[in-house]
Amino acid sequence: MRNVDVLVVYLGLEPVPFHKGFYSVDMTFFFEVTLDVFQTPAAPPVTISGLSVFSKNVVLYGSEGNVKVFSSDGSLDELEQNSVQSLPKASVQVAQPVGLSARLCEGRTCCCEPCCRIPDCICRRYGGSFCMENTDKVVYATIGIFTIVQIERNVQMMIPAYDFCIPEKECITSSDNPCELFSRIDFPTNEFFPPKVTDVYGDDHGCGCHKHKEC
């Protein structure tokens, strides 16, 4: 396996029955996998690209929305659709995937059917539709991915606002001596000591997101 890239991730959001405020996030990952194929032992490898599909489901808490939201975006025909935006928004962040291994097997003994319909935009990327019938050989790819899945909802917040002010006096430095100015700067002790992992990421007390490591 030479390289792995994420083409697109499709997300579906559905409320969980009998669990108010919880939502099921269905994710379908489409990966482009680049392989070096050795046709004969003495010949150099041939580079080919293929499609790999993976599905994942997580359940997250997204609270409840009991109001209808109307927006100025869209036409009058879309007004009814825009008025039922009570569901939260699901998003996923995907780091650069890691290609771990690739295994060649016989197509007759493996399940070659994709787990979902491949979108037309991805089919056009590879020159047409994918043919799953009469497949002699398929490649199983093991891919490691790091993802953060989040559910977002608009909330109302009270933030104090203050009127702008215009400075009336010019700021005058107390001294022109650069050494005196430098003497007032604290010594940067932290710059000489690398931060610990807790200093960078902090303690994980739950932030409403799902940090996932998948292989």
- Among 141, 178, 171, 106, which residue's Cα sits nearest to residue 30? 141
9 is written with which tokens? 């991730």
Type of residue at 17: P
Q: Where exactly are the structural domains of the chain?
A: 3-154+207-214
Reply yes or no on whether the pLDDT at 132 is more than 90.
Answer: no
What's the pLDDT tens digit per position in 58-102? 999 888 877 777 767 666 665 555 445 578 889 999 888 888 888
Residue 204: how many CB atoms within 10 A of its CB?
A: 8
Burial class of residue 29 (count of CB atoms within 10 Å of its CB; 0-12, 13-18, 19+):
buried
Give the residue, 83 or 211, on which the prediction is more confident: 211
**pLDDT value of position 200:** 58
**pLDDT value of position 109:** 53
**pLDDT value of position 57:** 92
Type of residue at 209: C
- Degrees, nearest 5: CA angle 114-116-118: 85
- Among 26, 29, 24, which residue's Cα sits nearest to residue 9? 29
The model's pTM is 0.64
Distance CA 140, CA 157 (A): 49
Q: How confident is the model at residue 215 (pLDDT cuts 50, 70, 90)?
A: low
Give the residue, 162 or 175, on which the prediction is more confident: 162
Q: How confident is the model at residue 32 (pLDDT cuts 50, 70, 90)?
A: very high
Reply yes or no on whether the pLDDT at 134 is more than 60.
Answer: yes
- Among 46, 10, 60, 61, which residue's Cα sits nearest to residue 31? 10
Q: How confident is the model at residue 27 (pLDDT cuts 50, 70, 90)?
A: very high
**pLDDT value of position 164:** 81
Q: Which helix (H) or strand (E) holds 26?
A: strand 22-37
Q: Where are the beta strands (DSSP E) in 62-198?
A: 89-94, 98-106, 137-152
Distance CA 108, CA 134 (A): 8
Q: Which helix (H) or strand (E) holds 48?
A: strand 46-61
Reply yes or no on whether the pLDDT at 159 is more than 80.
Answer: yes
